[in-house]
């Protein structure tokens, strides 16, 4: 799931992607991708499901409850044993089909845990992404950072990458240089970080975690691969730091309300996406308040009034 972007401050995105809806496409040795036909402003051409292995396989992010995608997935899996269903996070475009796939194959569902917000709701606050969250999801096995899942000729290692959601995991395919980065890092756009589901401080720490690794290629939850992870991660980090500076500049210039900041910072963005942009600004402000740089009366919220501390 992506955030609205303002081109001058964005990394070099790659929008070239052929989704091949309903068809298993080999993307690496022992790895296939099937893209769900659920395109949209936050999903690009659709959600990517990955099959890892040959005779005995793992399925990563089976996707939404979609009949055509389930049929395509079962056709691709015909004649193979599915031992594990790995779920990166619990947004409804990634996790719900895990239950049906488990019933059909007997595979074990592995993930960080059920859906939860990055922080408790403030008094009177509602979660704007509540309808997008799979509240029924519960894994058979909860994975912590660095936990491993092994199959016939493959090993997946969990990388805790909270930020987009509190329970977000990426999965490294050991010995290959491949990371399935889900919605944390995508080649086509920046990931949305929307409180209370997500947290900017967590997101930035997760970027640093990935930068400390030496991976060759990322296969994300939407769009095509990230072919130079270190350079792209540095670009994402710069983008977020520039966005933080833009928020601070608006507050110093006298903007006190998030809608006023959004109008200035996202002036070239489709106004229909300003609601999501406001959540992104709030995520930065939450982080700035926690650092003691920005002040507000009470907890940070979309309707808050902000000043430099």
CA atoms within 13 A on the CB side of 270: 6
Per-residue confidence band for 301, with pLDDT thresholds at 50, 70 and 90: very high
pLDDT digits (tens, 9 = 90+) for 75-126: 999 999 999 999 999 999 999 999 999 999 999 999 999 999 999 999 888 8
User: Which pLDDT does position 123 carry in this prediction?
Assistant: 87
Higher-pLDDT residue of 114, 127: 114
Q: Which residues contact 49 (CB under 8 A, 6 or more apart)?
A: 33, 34, 35, 36, 59, 60, 61, 62, 63, 69, 73
What is the share, in percent, of the chain residues with pLDDT greater than 70? 97
Number of alpha helices (DSSP H) and beta strands (DSSP E) in the chain? 6, 14
pLDDT digits (tens, 9 = 90+) for 187-208: 999 999 999 999 999 999 999 9
Phi, psi for 206 (deg, rounded to 5): -70, -35
**Residue 56 CA to its chain's centroid (Å):** 27
User: Which pLDDT does position 8 carry in this prediction?
Assistant: 37
pLDDT digits (tens, 9 = 90+) for 133-185: 999 999 999 999 999 999 999 999 999 999 999 999 999 999 999 999 999 99
Q: What is the pTM of this model?
A: 0.94
Residues 112 and 166: their CA atoms lie apart, in Å, by: 9
User: Which pLDDT does position 198 carry in this prediction?
Assistant: 95
pLDDT digits (tens, 9 = 90+) for 39-48: 998 899 999 9
């Amino acid at each position: 799931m992506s955030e609205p972007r303002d081109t001058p401050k964005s990394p070099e995105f790659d929008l070239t992607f052929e989704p091949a809806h309903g068809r298993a496409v080999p993307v690496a040795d022992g790895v296939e991708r099937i893209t769900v036909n659920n395109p949209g402003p936050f999903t690009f051409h659709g959600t990517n499901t990955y099959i890892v292995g040959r005779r005995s396989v793992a399925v990563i992010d089976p996707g939404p409850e979609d009949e055509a995608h389930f049929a395509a997935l079962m056709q691709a899996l015909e004649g193979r044993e599915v031992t594990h269903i790995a779920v990166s996070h619990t947004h409804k475009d990634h996790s719900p089909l895990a239950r049906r796939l488990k019933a059909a194959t007997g595979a074990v569902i592995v993930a960080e845990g059920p859906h939860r917000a990055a922080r408790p709701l403030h008094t009177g606050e509602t979660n704007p992404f509540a309808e997008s969250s799979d509240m029924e999801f519960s894994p058979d096995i909860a994975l912590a950072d660095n936990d491993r899942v092994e199959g016939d000729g493959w090993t997946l290692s969990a990388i805790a990458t909270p930020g987009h959601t509190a329970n977000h995991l990426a999965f490294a395919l050991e010995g290959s240089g491949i990371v399935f980065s889900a919605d944390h890092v995508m080649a086509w756009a920046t990931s949305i970080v929307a409180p209370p589901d997500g947290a900017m401080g967590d997101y930035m720490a997760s970027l640093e975690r990935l930068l400390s690794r030496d991976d060759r290629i990322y296969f994300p939850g939407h769009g095509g691969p990230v072919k130079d992870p270190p350079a792209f991660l540095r670009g994402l980090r710069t983008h977020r730091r520039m966005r933080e500076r833009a928020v601070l500049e608006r507050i110093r210039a006298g903007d006190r309300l998030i809608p006023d900041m959004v109008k200035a910072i996202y002036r070239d963005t489709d106004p229909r996406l300003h609601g999501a942009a406001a959540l992104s600004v709030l995520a930065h402000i939450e982080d700035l308040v926690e650092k003691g740089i920005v002040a507000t009366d009470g907890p940070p919220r979309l309707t808050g009034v902000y000043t430099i501390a």
